[in-house]
Amino acid sequence: MNENSLKVGSNEMELVDFRIFKEENGEIYEGIYGINVSKVREIIRVPNLTELPGTPDFIEGIFDLRGVVIPVVNLAKWMGIAGPEDAEKNSRVIITEFNNVLIGFIVHEAKRIRRINWGDIEPATFISNSNSIDGSKVTGVTKIEGDCVLLILDLESVVQDLGLYEPDLGAVPRELEDFSGLALILDDSATARKIVKDALEKMGFHVVEAIDGEEGLVKLDELFDMYGDDLVNHLKIIVSDVEMPRMDGFHFAAKAKEDGRFKKIPIVFNSSISDHFSENRGKDAGGEAYLVKFDASSFYDEVARVVSAHMN
C-alpha cells in the first residue's frame, strides 16, 4: 500500500477483498469478505504446515516465516462452510498482524485491494448468528459492484475466541487511581468499550461512550451544551478506536481538532492496528498518543501522562 495514498481526515480505508466459496445442493455460492490492509503483513501461497495435535480442525497448523512461528486458521472450516472440491486450488494465506501478534488465515481466493469510504460502511446490526458465521464477528458491511455485499470481518475477535490472543487486563497502579473528570471513549466493539471503560473508571474517570466517530461528535456537542467553554476542564481525555463504520477515528480526531471548542482536549488512539504508518497518521490527526490494544500497563501510563500534561 502507498503510505501517502490515505490522507488524514479522508475517512477512507483500504482493504483486501477475499472470497470464501460454499457448495450447497450442487450450487456454488461466493462469500465476499474484507480486512483492513493495515492489518495485512503479506499474502502467500499455502506453505507446508506442521499439524498441532489436540487443536480444533480449523487450526491447520503452524509454519516458520523468516524465523517467526505463525499459527494458521482455515476460515472456511471455522465458519463451518463446506467448499467445492477445487476451492483449494487458488487458496492463499493472508498473514495478519494486530495487537502485535502474527496470525495466518487461509482463504479460497484473494482478489484485490479496494479503497472504501467509511461513510459507505454500515454497522452489521442486521446479521444474526447462523451456521456459517457469527454476526458479532462482522464489524461492517458495504455494497460493491453488481449489488454485491462485502462483509468486513472482525478477525481479532476470532483470534481471541480461539485463545491465540488474550488482552492484558492488569490492575491499575495505586498511584494512578486519583484522576477525576470525564473521559469519552469511541469504539464500535462493545467488548473493547467495556475493557477501556473499566480501565478508565479504575483510574477515577466518569466515562461517556460512543460507537463511532459520528456519535463521538454528537457526544462532544452534548457535553459542550452542558459545560460550555468550561468543557476543557471537565472532559480530560478522549480514547478512540481507529476502525469504525460511518466515521473512523482519524477523521473524528481531525474534525474535533479543527473545532475551537474541542481542539485542546487530548486524544489517545487505542487500536488493534500495530503498524508505524497508522501511528504516524494518528499523530498527524492530532492524537497525543497511539496505543495498541490492549496492554494495561501501557494504557494506564500513557493516559496518565497525557492527562497530566494537559492539566499542566
Do both 233 and 181 map to the same domain?
yes
- Concatenated DSSP letters of the chain: --TTSS-TTS-EEEEEEEEEEEEETTEEEEEEEEEEGGGEEEEEE----B--TTS-TTEEEEEEETTEEEEEEEHHHHHT----GGGGGG-EEEEEEETTEEEEEEESEEEEEEEEEGGGPBP-TT----SS--GGGEEEEEE-GGG-EEEEE-HHHHHHHTTS---B-PPPPGGG----SEEEEE-S-HHHHHHHHHHHHHHT-EEEEESSHHHHHHHHHHHHHHHGGGGGGTEEEEEE-S--SSS-HHHHHHHHHHSTTTTTS-EEEEESB--HHHHHHHHHTT-SEEEETTBHHHHHHHHHHHHHHHH-
Q: Would you say residue 46 lies in a domain?
A: yes
* In a shared domain, residues 148 and 184: no
Q: The domain spanning residue 263 has which CATH number?
A: 3.40.50.2300
140 and 244, same domain (yes or no): no
Are residues 36 and 113 located together in one domain of the fold?
yes
Same domain, 233 and 300: yes
> Which one of 161, 195, 218 terminates a domain?
161
Residue 187 shares a structural domain with residue 156? no
6 in any annotated domain: no
Domain that holds residue 137: 12-161
38: CATH: 2.40.50.180
Q: How many domains does the chain have?
A: 2
Q: Which pLDDT tens digit goes with each residue over 197-250?
A: 999 999 999 999 999 999 999 999 999 999 999 999 999 999 999 988 889 999
Q: Is residue 2 one of the residues assigned to a domain?
A: no
What is the pTM for the complete model shown? 0.78
Residue 212 carries which side chain, given as an amino acid letter?
D
Q: What is the mean pLDDT of the chain?
A: 88
CA distances from 122 to 79, 126, 141, 209, 247 (A): 22, 10, 5, 19, 10
Contacts of 107 (CB under 8 A, 6+ apart): 18, 19, 20, 33, 75, 76, 91, 92, 93, 94
φ, ψ dihedrals at 162, nearest 5°: -80, -5
Q: Quick: pLDDT tens for 239-292.
A: 999 988 889 999 999 999 999 999 999 999 999 888 788 889 899 999 999 998
Do both 85 and 193 map to the same domain? no
Domain shared by 180 and 153, yes or no: no
pLDDT for the residue numbered 124: 74
Tell me the per-residue pLDDT of 26-79, one tens digit each, with 9 for 90 and over.
889 999 999 989 889 999 999 999 998 988 888 999 999 999 999 999 999 888
**75 and 181 both lie in a single domain:** no
The domain boundary residue, chosen from 161, 187, 210 = 161
Considering the domain architecture, whether residues 156 and 24 belong to the same structural domain is answered as yes
Question: Of 161, 194, 223, which one is at a domain's C-terminal end?
Answer: 161
